[in-house]
Amino acid sequence: MAVWAIGDLQGCYDATQRLLEKIRFDPAQDRLWFCGDLVNRGGQSLETLRLVHSLRERSVVVLGNHDLSLLAIGERSPDEQRKVNQDLQRVVLADDARPLLDWLRMQKLLHVDRALGWMMIHAGLAPKWTTTLAEKHAREVEQQLHGNGYRKLFRNMYGDKPGWSPGLTGYERSRAIINLFTRMRYCTPRGRMAIEEKGAPGTQAQGLYPWYEVPGRAQRDLKIVCGHWSTLGLMIGHGVHAIDTGAVWGGKLTALQLDTDELRVLQVAGRDTAALG
């Protein structure tokens, strides 16, 4: 048995199949952790979503910002759905869209496995959040996603503000939590997210830190695996294993084995952007 975490797929079905072959994935005994952003930009989002759905008994998924956007689009009118990019149109207009989207909506923002010693998020954690606090805040939003009020959440989740504060309430609170889990890259020393900064470390505005390097951050009892930050590339440090290596941009698709003390990373070529012109 092996447990593998896999970085952002972003609709790169062919690369995903190559990676599953390279890690010799055996659905009878292995498990997969998907770091979110299963869809968008890769041109094969429908096939990718169907594949991960077919592996649902052997995998766990955390939601990324692109996954949440797809879910919101899935609740719009057909006329509005036809205005989004073709890759996502193919998902929301497919005959099996409803079971796929209903399953996707039931996934998590945070996955914790204390026996294994790992947690998985898509993007980041507020610097002051312990594992326990992160679990609490993730559950707040997951309850809305999994309950009857999810359509109203989707209508109110977009926006860069407010920044996180424990005193937030209502949809402002939910939006801030979602942004941290699914859009985080850089923070101020006080833990405020700088959502406009997207480049590799060293390119950010003065005074900002990668979220995992903020001074005075909480000590966490689990190793973290995450995706989202393709310009960061493969980064292992500070207890964080960032594995979005830009498959959709012509980089690599990365798998990290979690159930071994040995650092084992396997990669395959991502989408062939040259062939797409």
pLDDT tier at 140, thresholds 50, 70, 90: very high
User: What pLDDT is attached to residue 31?
Assistant: 98
Mean pLDDT of 136-160: 97
Helix residue ranges, H only, 162-219:
170-183
In the chain, what percentage of residues exceed pLDDT 90? Answer: 97
pLDDT value at residue 277: 47
CB 49 within 8 A of CB 82: no
pLDDT for 225 beyond 50: yes
pLDDT at 191: 87
Query: Is 274's pLDDT higher than 80?
Result: no
Q: Is-contact 233 218, C-beta < 8 A?
A: no
- One-letter amino acid at 47 equals E
Q: How far is CA 121 from CA 61, 183, 191, 244, in A?
A: 9, 11, 17, 12
Q: At residue 273, does pLDDT exceed 90?
A: no
> Which domains occur in the chain, in start order?
3-269 (3.60.21.10)
Query: What does the pLDDT average to over 184-198?
Result: 94
How far apart are the C-alpha atoms of 23 and 178, rounded to whole Å?
31
- The DSSP secondary-structure symbol of 246 reads B
